[in-house]
Amino acid sequence: MDLHHIFTQFYAVYGSLINFIGINSLLAISLYVTLSAGQLSLGNAAFAGIGGYTAGILTMYLNVPYMVALCAATLMSGAVAVVLGFPVLRLRGVFLAIATLAFGEVVRILAINLQITGGAEGLTPIPNKTQAWMIFTALALVGYFMAVLRRSRIGWSFASIREDETAAKAMGINTTWYKTLAFTIGAMIAGLAGAMSAHLNYIITPGEFGFSAAVQLLIYNIVGGTRIWYGPVLGAALLTALPEILRGIGVSAGPVRMGVNGFILLMVILFLPNGLVSLFSRRKD
């Protein structure tokens, strides 16, 4: 049996899981960007929903080409983030988290009540255009962008704001502009992931980007680590694959899986405060 045949069989069985790992990794990175600038936002799931609905409406109702729809979804999420960012990012800590969570609920309620979004039943059937190579090409490009950004002037400004916003402002850094930039970049990545997800699953529903989705993105970052961009990818990969791993060893009950997720999160907080990424690097950022 050759290697190509083995890979084909493996992807036939686990293809959906592999694709979801890629999508969730993109979503995890989208939140990492705002966290890298010291902003605790819970609105990235909503930006994914905006991207998903934008792309789905364009391809379903207007027959817009898939790639154009992806670009439009990314830009739409970014535009909404700019409009929302300037007033909301004046808040800090838990107040910012609550404000962005409220924004997510507004988006969800609008999706439920608007006819063009399909209401509570969701938007369907969205053309199935997303393929695995597209997801992981996007993930590779976003990862490269984050690696370059981290060592740029913008990246250092994000880090300065994260460590001490008052000191950063005293050093002449325009904290409002940089925080809005981080918020917008994160929203655009989330919008791209949402658009790809909608065209992978044939459907997008309001429940996909509610409170639980927003919290899940935060958990990916905490488990993986928020000091470098591939930390959230590790967290997303582990927690996305975990249900399948547990099912393979005979654990299929939902409450048990949630309990295992909680146990892993607790262990990481207690013994790996910098996340799983600290296992692979001794260098502290």
What's the whole-number mean pLDDT along residues 274-279?
A: 83
Kindly state whether residue 274 falls inside one of the protein's structural domains.
Answer: no
Kindly state whether residue 275 falls inside one of the protein's structural domains.
Answer: no
Q: How many domains are there within the chain?
A: 1
Kindly state whether residue 41 falls inside one of the protein's structural domains.
Answer: yes
Kindly state whether residue 10 falls inside one of the protein's structural domains.
Answer: no
What's the whole-number mean pLDDT along residues 264-273?
A: 80
| Range of the structural domain that residue 176 is part of | 19-210
pLDDT of amino acid 147 = 92
3-state helix, strand, coil in the chain (%, to 5): 80, 0, 20
pLDDT of amino acid 8 = 74
- CA gyration radius for the chain? 19
Counts of helices then strands in the chain (DSSP H, E): 11, 0
Kindly state whether residue 13 falls inside one of the protein's structural domains.
Answer: no
Amino acid symbol at 93: G
pLDDT of amino acid 73 = 96
For the beta carbon of residue 57, count every other beta carbon within 10 angstroms: 21
Least confident of 51-60, 213-222, 242-251, 252-261: 252-261
Confidence label for 90 from pLDDT (cuts 50, 70 and 90)? confident
Kindly state whether residue 265 falls inside one of the protein's structural domains.
Answer: no
pLDDT of amino acid 15 = 81
Kindly state whether residue 279 falls inside one of the protein's structural domains.
Answer: no
Kindly state whether residue 86 falls inside one of the protein's structural domains.
Answer: yes
What's the whole-number mean pLDDT along residues 263-273?
A: 80
- Give the Cα separation of 209 and 215 in Å (integer): 10
Q: What mean pLDDT is reported for the chain?
A: 88
Taking alpha carbons only, the member of 24, 15, 78, 9 closest to residue 193 is 24
Query: Any long-range contacts for 256-265 (C-beta under 8 Å, 24+ apart)?
Result: 261/219, 264/223, 264/238, 264/239, 265/219, 265/222, 265/223
Residue 41 in tokens: 């936002």
pLDDT of amino acid 285 = 46
Q: pLDDT tens for residues 61-89?
A: 999 999 999 999 999 999 999 999 888 88
Strand partners, 123: 204
Taking alpha carbons only, the member of 120, 100, 101, 96 closest to residue 110 is 120
* Beta-strand runs (E) in the chain: none
Taking alpha carbons only, the member of 232, 188, 179 closest to residue 80 is 188
Q: pLDDT tens for residues 138-193?
A: 999 999 999 999 889 999 999 999 988 889 888 888 988 999 999 999 999 999 99
pTM: 0.91
pLDDT of amino acid 248 = 67
Confidence label for 272 from pLDDT (cuts 50, 70 and 90)? confident
